[in-house]
Amino acid sequence: REAMHTDEYEISIGREVALCRRLIKRLEQALRDREERYAMTTEDLLLALEERRVAGERPEFREWREDHLELKYRRRQLSEYVAALKGLRTS
């Protein structure tokens, strides 16, 4: 029975890993598209927002920043899922 639970956990975490990877790819592409469109890196945008050189209330800049934060979160989440998966496979 224990092995069955581990298999179920592996399958479930494996799905989460795949989902995170897809989301990360989509977010990375969205950021690249914006960087090309506005001829500015994401880091430059964040600095410009912080220094109030661009209007933070502009929807496209707000979404850009939110996608950046979401990407950071998803990368951290992926790292945690991968570590959990490795832990299951070594136990």
User: Is-contact 10 85, C-beta < 8 A?
Assistant: yes
Sign of CA dihedral 32, 36, 38, 42: positive
Over residues 55-61, mean pLDDT: 90
Q: In the chain, what is the straight-line distance between the N-terminal and C-terminal CA atoms, in Å?
A: 15
Q: What is the dihedral of CA 76, 79, 85, 87, to 10 degrees?
A: -100
Residue 31 pLDDT: 99
Six token digits for residue 31: 């950021």
Delimit the domains of the chain by residue range: 2-90
Query: DSSP class of residue 53?
Result: S
Six token digits for residue 63: 């979404």
Query: DSSP class of residue 51?
Result: T
- pLDDT of 80 > 60? The answer is yes
Considering the entire predicted model, what is its pTM? Answer: 0.85
Q: What is the DSSP string of 25-54?
A: HHHHHHHHHHHHHHTS-HHHHHHHHHTTSS
Residue 28 pLDDT: 99
- pLDDT of 1 > 50? The answer is no
